[in-house]
């Protein structure tokens, strides 16, 4: 499985399927988290996921890029619980076939934004 395929499978099962039961297959135990609102480590991700997945998110991937051990995912995240839409870039470093490190950038509640151009948000 390529690094890109690993990330796509992770998104499908964990984020869109709301299932963390096989998380150890995707993520290293010492997973390094750079998002300041999420704890580090696989246990930290599970703590974050409990609240996040309760909001019934759906990730609509727009682009996914792989460069060596790095995978970047650009997507629209719609929260099923409240309909809020976010525009997100996630960057993962893969090590030994598992997610080892994560960075992200999020534009929250993009449905309330009126663009000053006609280019669209995606």
CATH number of the structural domain spanning residue 29: 3.10.450.50
For 27, the token pair is: 């993520």
Give the model confidence (pLDDT) of 48-105 as tens digits. 999 999 999 999 999 999 999 999 999 999 999 899 999 999 999 999 999 999 999 9
In terms of Cα–Cα distance, which of 120, 107, 10 is closest to 64? Answer: 10
Phi-psi region of 68 (alpha: psi -120 to 50; beta: other; left: phi over 0): left
Q: Tell me, what DSSP letter sits at residue 13? A: I
In a domain, 117, yes or no: no
Residue 111 banded pLDDT, cuts 50, 70, 90: confident
In a domain, 66, yes or no: yes
The tally of domains found in the chain comes to 1
In a domain, 107, yes or no: yes
Mean pLDDT value across residues 8-34? 97
Residue range(s) defining the domain that contains residue 18: 3-112
What is the separation of C-alpha 107 from the centre of its chain, rounded to a whole number of angstroms?
Answer: 13
In a domain, 122, yes or no: no
């Amino acid at each position: 499985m390529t690094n890109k395929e690993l990330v796509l499978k992770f998104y499908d099962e964990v984020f869109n399927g709301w299932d963390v039961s096989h998380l150890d297959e995707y993520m290293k135990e010492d997973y390094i988290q750079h998002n300041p609102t999420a704890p580090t480590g696989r246990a930290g991700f599970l703590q974050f996921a409990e609240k996040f997945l309760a909001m019934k998110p759906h990730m609509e991937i727009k682009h996914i890029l792989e460069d060596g051990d790095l995978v970047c995912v650009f997507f629209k995240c719609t929260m099923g619980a409240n309909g809020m839409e976010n525009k997100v870039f996630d960057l993962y470093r893969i090590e030994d076939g598992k997610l080892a490190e994560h960075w992200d950038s999020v534009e929250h509640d993009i449905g309330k934004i009126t663009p000053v151009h006609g280019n669209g948000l995606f």
